[in-house]
């Protein structure tokens, strides 16, 4: 019925219809629809209510011709099979839509060619900006090929001169995970899940924080308590940790590089008659949705993924709007979400 009362002769709701219904100018509606950030929250909510009520859908092709933009953004990440990236992609997509953009997901496979392709998307007119979590290419290498593409990095590498970066403090978070295990009286604390070869940037920072936590607690660092995995999934962690236990590894606390490693650790322990937290208190990382449904539920470092997405996209929009200042690095928050695998000292959980 709405489409019969409003719009052009074809029944399509127009920008003017939304403006009339909300009692604002067409320019205000346009600013809200295209995600312009300098609009007050009450005004944005008022226009959005009119958009929703009338069922207005922007003419993307016309808007692209008028603005020179596609109103598409790319989120490039290594592997959609990893629950953390799947959940993060969901958050980024939701936040992008709130700002009037659609999100193109680019799975790079952790390969340089995939990362190059994602960064060069703007050259083909496909996307207006890119948020990327690189694994192979350094920010300096990406900066050299990005042309005029606005790029924001996720991770902790030093960004190039004119690109921005958003991350959590992996070193601090890992140290806090160790603090939690020390508070439980654990002293033989291992680390599971880093790469067999040279550690990735993420693993390196988490290992650094693990060592820092041990050192400030006065617990001796013992590299024999580090268990790498051949394959970066739960099965790889289960096999590596199981072999270490069979070879005589004795620990009472475990920090895992990610929740998949923690899942593998819990299974390896159960198959050998060990339980968390009775025998080994286990801490994961990423707080994926599955973590709360495990038995025991998993204690895990939980990055603030909403703040991560909102901050990254805000920086990206500013670059797209012409900001050309020095690269900015922003850290967003995290918390330790305490579950049954490593509860609080009084036995409680969140």
Segment 6-25 shows an average pLDDT of 72
Same domain flag for 299 and 174: yes
**β pairing state of 253-256 and 189-195:** parallel
- At 88-136, the pLDDT tens digits run 999 999 999 988 899 999 899 888 888 888 877 655 567 889 999 988 8
Q: Which two tokens stand for residue 219?
A: 């617990």
Same domain flag for 193 and 164: no
Same domain flag for 204 and 268: yes
Same domain flag for 20 and 92: no
Confidence tier at 61 by pLDDT (50, 70, 90): very low
Confidence tier at 66 by pLDDT (50, 70, 90): very low
* Domain-embedded: residue 136: yes
Q: What is the CATH number of the domain that holds 318?
A: 3.40.50.2300
Q: Which helix (H) or strand (E) holds 130?
A: strand 129-132
Radius of gyration of the chain (CA): 24
φ, ψ of residue 40 to 5 degrees: the values are: -60, 155
The pTM score is 0.78
Q: What is the CATH number of the domain that holds 23?
A: 1.10.260.40
Which residue carries 């599971």 as its tokens? 192
Same domain flag for 222 and 250: yes
- At 144-174, the pLDDT tens digits run 877 778 889 998 776 667 789 999 999 999 9
d(CA 97, CA 51): 13
240 contacts: CB under 8 Å, gap ≥ 6: 192, 227, 228, 229, 230, 264
**β pairing state of 72-77 and 102-107:** parallel
* Domain-embedded: residue 183: yes
Same domain flag for 134 and 208: no
* DSSP type of residue 56: -
- At 239-274, the pLDDT tens digits run 999 999 999 999 999 999 999 999 999 999 999 999
Task: Give me the helices (H) in 153-258, please.
Answer: 170-183, 201-217, 234-246
Same domain flag for 219 and 259: yes
* Domain-embedded: residue 341: no
Q: Which two tokens stand for residue 58?
A: 């922007």
Same domain flag for 105 and 202: no
Cis amide linkage into residue 37, ω under 30° from 0: no
Same domain flag for 42 and 154: no
* Domain-embedded: residue 349: no
d(CA 158, CA 140): 9
- Number of folded domains that form the chain: 3
Determine the structural domain holding residue 198 and report its residue range. 170-303
Q: Do residues 182 and 215 lie in contact, with contact meaning Cβ atoms separated by under 8 Å?
A: no
CB neighbourhood size of 27 (10 A): 11
Same domain flag for 103 and 149: yes
């Amino acid at each position: 019925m709405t489409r019969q009362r409003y719009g052009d002769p074809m029944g399509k709701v127009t920008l003017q219809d939304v403006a009339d219904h909300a009692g604002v100018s067409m320019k205000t509606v346009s600013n809200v629809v295209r995600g312009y950030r300098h609009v007050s929250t009450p005004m944005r909510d008022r226009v959005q209510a009119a958009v929703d009520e009338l069922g207005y859908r922007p003419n993307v092709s016309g808007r692209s011709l008028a603005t020179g933009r596609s109103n598409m953004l790319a989120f490039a990440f290594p592997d959609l099979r990893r629950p953390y990236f799947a959940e993060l992609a969901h958050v980024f997509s939701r936040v992008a839509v709130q700002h009037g953009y659609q999100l193109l997901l680019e799975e790079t496979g952790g390969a340089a060619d995939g990362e190059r392709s994602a960064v060069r998307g703007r050259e083909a007119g496909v996307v207006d900006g890119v948020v990327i979590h690189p694994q192979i290419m350094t920010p300096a290498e990406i900066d050299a090929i990005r042309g005029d593409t606005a790029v924001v990095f996720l991770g902790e590498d030093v960004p190039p001169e004119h690109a921005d970066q958003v991350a959590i403090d992996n070193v601090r978070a890992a140290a806090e995970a160790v603090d939690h295990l020390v508070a439980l009286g654990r002293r033989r604390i291992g680390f599971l899940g880093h790469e067999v070869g040279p550690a990735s940037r993420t693993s390196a920072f988490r290992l650094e924080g693990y060592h820092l936590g041990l050192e400030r607690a006065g617990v001796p660092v013992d590299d024999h308590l580090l268990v790498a995995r051949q394959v970066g999934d739960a099965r790889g962690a289960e096999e590596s940790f199981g072999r270490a236990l069979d070879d005589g590894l004795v620990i009472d606390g475990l920090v895992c590089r990610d929740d998949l490693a923690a899942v593998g650790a819990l299974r390896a322990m159960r198959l050998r008659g060990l339980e968390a937290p009775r025998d080994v208190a286990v801490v994961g990382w990423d707080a994926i949705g599955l973590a709360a449904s495990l038995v025991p539920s998993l204690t895990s470092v939980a990055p603030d993924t909403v703040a991560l997405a909102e901050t990254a996209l805000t920086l990206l929009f500013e670059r797209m709007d012409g900001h050309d200042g020095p690269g900015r690095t922003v850290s967003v928050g995290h918390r330790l979400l305490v579950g049954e695998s490593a509860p609080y000292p009084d036995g409680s959980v969140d």
